[in-house]
Amino acid sequence: MDARPEGVVTGVWHDGAVPGPIVVGRPRECSIADALAVIGDRWSLLIVRELGFGVTRFTDIRSNTGAPREILTARLRKLEAEGVIIRTPYQQRPARFEYSLTDAGRQLGPVLQTLRGWGEAFA
């Protein structure tokens, strides 16, 4: 039998901040979960990394990340819909696009640097 606590639990983060009451067994509002809903899919942060390095074209992003074509297409569309990247046409026939970061996408730069440091230290 899975015994889970009932009622309200208050969590304390490592810096002593109290995020507020958490009702056990119910989804809670969390900006980290919200951010992961936007950029947490596999390949998404690697796409942002490449755009931050100045790589703008689909074939180059694909080559540098190793993302499968269909997955890369889906991730680019999602990141565009979420306002992380912008798609700009550079060729009419066949239709070709370049991608760039929005301000929201550029704000992920320090996050990626921190994640890189964590990866170097612990992964």
Strands (E), the chain: 8-10, 21-23, 85-91, 96-101
pLDDT of res. 68: 98
The structure tokens listed for 115 are 């994640």
Give, in words, the CATH class of 40-122: mainly alpha
pTM, two decimal places: 0.79
pLDDT of res. 119: 98
41-74 pLDDT, tens digit each: 999 999 999 999 999 999 999 999 999 999 999 9
pLDDT of res. 106: 98
pLDDT of res. 38: 97
What residues of the chain score a pLDDT lower than 70?
A: 1-28
Domain ranges of the chain: 40-122
